[in-house]
Amino acid sequence: MRTLNVELGDRSYPIFIGHGIRQQKALFDDAIHGKQVMIVTNTTVADLYLEAMVSMLSIDYKVDTCILPDGEVYKTLDTYGIIMTSLLEAKHNRTTTVIALGGGVVGDMAGFAAATYQRGVPFIQVPTTLLSQVDSSVGGKTGVNHPLGKNMIGAFYQPQAVIIDTDTLSSLPLRELSAGMAEVIKYGLICDVPFFDWLEAEMPVLMALNNDKISEAIYRSCVAKAHVVSQDEREGGIRAILNLGHTFGHAIETQMGYGNWLHGEAVAVGCVLAVDLSWRMGHLTDSDVARAVALFEAAKLPVLPPVTMTVAHFIERMALDKKVLDGSLRLVLLASLGDALVTSEFPMAYFTATLVDALDASLQATLT
């Protein structure tokens, strides 16, 4: 097992990464407050891992469960209400601990419920997908979607611990594994060129779920995110670089309907669009662009936007992004490989050209 810490003063917490560690009760004992536990999961994950966790924790705690429907389409205030009702009906008090057992949707909603139940109760993240293990479970972003925008309702609320069991990845469909790999690649692009180089060499082995290699990829991703979050917990500055590709990607998710494109798939296309715009601005070489595109393709990810989208769709959706400041759209771009910047200083002609060329390429790919 490997351990690292997110350093946030009195809100600091450990991240544990290892094989089979979701059944190491001592890790939970150190993070659980009081004697009440509410495990929030979904229908898919419950069938795989819930019974064993309930059995383990019931030795010392009163354990209740809340099983949600599975899918991004259910990341709503209505589903959040199901968690709140479960906590109230089971008479959970301020010393209860919420455990999020599942992927990013479960983690975001359970975390938001913990942040707001009786004005805040402790929670633990037990992410079961690659995407949630390397991204959404770390950093304290919680919330739900709105029909007009992704993650527009939520709170910054840090967990007591993140327990990453790499064994859960064996149950993931290939599409979900690929979606998680988009966030892994992102870290190489924004702040770690040696990691990017390593991913180029190891991607076939990573996609085959080699235990040592996938643990290393998760660890290095978490190190990168923990380092950034420790400097900027509430995204007032440098933390925004973690959103490379997300402004474009969220536009795709919202326009296409939540769940039709997986978050990681949309982020992959968003990263490619950001890389292209960075190239047009003279920050990247042709080789840089080719390497980025090839790495996403090696992870079995899309690199072109949905053919049904238009430039107007992107502009409309991106105008509602959380990074819009005083009416100006800010994008995360690359000054070079491994060096991200957040800026609203980009020529609109280049921005439009990036979208037009990508949408045209998507159309041509459909026709052939």
DSSP code at position 235: S
Is there a catalytic annotation at residue 246?
yes
- Specify whether 165 is located in the same domain as 220: no
Low-confidence ranges of the chain (pLDDT < 70): 325-326
Is there a catalytic annotation at residue 145?
no
- Specify whether 166 is located in the same domain as 178: no
- Specify whether 230 is located in the same domain as 166: no
In the set 72, 176, 235, 265, the catalytic residue is 235
Q: 170, 205, 230 — which closes off a domain?
A: 170
Domain that holds residue 256: 174-367
Is there a catalytic annotation at residue 225?
yes
**DSSP for 242-267, written as a single string:** GGTTHHHHHHHHHHH-BTTB-HHHHH
Is there a catalytic annotation at residue 239?
yes
Closest among 60, 102, 109 to 86, alpha carbons compared:
109
Tens of pLDDT along 264-289? Answer: 999 999 999 999 999 999 999 999 99
Is there a catalytic annotation at residue 213?
no
- Specify whether 157 is located in the same domain as 9: yes
Tens of pLDDT along 180-229? Answer: 999 999 999 999 999 999 999 999 999 999 999 999 999 999 999 999 99
- Specify whether 350 is located in the same domain as 267: yes
Would you state the pLDDT for residue 321? 80
- Category of 71 on φ-ψ map: left (φ > 0), alpha (ψ -120 to 50) or beta: left
In the set 150, 250, 313, 323, the catalytic residue is 250
In the set 42, 145, 151, 243, the catalytic residue is 243
Would you state the pLDDT for residue 179? 98
The percent of residues in the chain predicted with pLDDT above 90, rounded, is 96
Tens of pLDDT along 57-76? Answer: 999 999 999 999 999 999 99
Q: 117, 149, 170 — which closes off a domain?
A: 170
**pTM attached to this predicted model:** 0.95
In the set 75, 186, 220, 239, the catalytic residue is 239
Answer whether 82's CB lies under 8 Å from 68's CB. Answer: yes
- Specify whether 212 is located in the same domain as 352: yes
- Specify whether 156 is located in the same domain as 61: yes
Instruction: Retrieve residue 272's tokens.
Output: 């490619």
How many distinct structural domains can be found in the chain? 2
Integer-rounded Cα radius of gyration of the chain: 20
Is there a catalytic annotation at residue 317?
no
Would you state the pLDDT for residue 211? 92
Would you state the pLDDT for residue 327? 74
- Specify whether 342 is located in the same domain as 202: yes
Would you state the pLDDT for residue 320? 85
- Specify whether 162 is located in the same domain as 182: no
In the set 22, 92, 141, 150, the catalytic residue is 141
Would you state the pLDDT for residue 326? 64
- Say which CATH number the domain at 187 has: 1.20.1090.10
Is there a catalytic annotation at residue 35?
no
Is there a catalytic annotation at residue 119?
yes
Q: 170, 188, 205 — which closes off a domain?
A: 170
- Specify whether 193 is located in the same domain as 307: yes
Is there a catalytic annotation at residue 234?
no
Would you state the pLDDT for residue 35? 97
Q: Which H helix or E strand runs over 281?
A: none
